[in-house]
Amino acid sequence: MKKLLIFCCLLAALSCRKNDVLDPAQACDKELEQYEAAIELWSKDITNKAKCEAVKKSLTNIIRNCSLYTAAQRKVYEEQLKDSTCD
């Protein structure tokens, strides 16, 4: 059991390290791909609150993780986030 726990911790540490290696452009690309996927799913069922929340979450992730964006570009995403309601 102890060996299994150590192995799991090692895997977690290695996966965290791998994510840290992504350069800012790759991080933005990843977030944008997730946003596009969320929008596509939501567009097929715009009354689905969970899919709407997924779109909002992906917008939040773009704002947080895309350090390449200027303040003006982030403001566009923040406005989209503010204007979208899932009621």
Q: Considering the domain boundaries, does residue 4 fall inside one?
A: no
Q: Considering the domain boundaries, does residue 16 fall inside one?
A: no
Q: Considering the domain boundaries, does residue 9 fall inside one?
A: no
For residue range 49-63, what is the model confidence (pLDDT) as tens digits? 999 999 999 999 988
For residue range 62-74, what is the model confidence (pLDDT) as tens digits? 888 888 888 898 8
Q: Considering the domain boundaries, does residue 15 fall inside one?
A: no
Total tally of structural domains belonging to the chain = 1
Is the pTM value of this prediction over 0.75?
A: no
Q: Considering the domain boundaries, does residue 12 fall inside one?
A: no
The conformation of residue 1, written as its DSSP 8-state character, comes to -
For residue range 4-59, what is the model confidence (pLDDT) as tens digits? 344 434 445 544 444 455 688 888 899 999 999 999 999 999 899 999 999 999 99
Query: What residue ranges in 1-87 does DSSP mark as E strands?
Result: none
Q: Considering the domain boundaries, does residue 17 fall inside one?
A: no
Determine the structural domain holding residue 40 and report its residue range. Answer: 23-83
Length of the chain: 87
Instruction: Give the span between the Cα atoms of 16 and 64, in whole angstroms.
Output: 17
Instruction: Give the span between the Cα atoms of 28 and 71, in whole angstroms.
Output: 15
Q: Considering the domain boundaries, does residue 8 fall inside one?
A: no
- Cα–Cα nearest to 59, from 80, 44, 87: 80
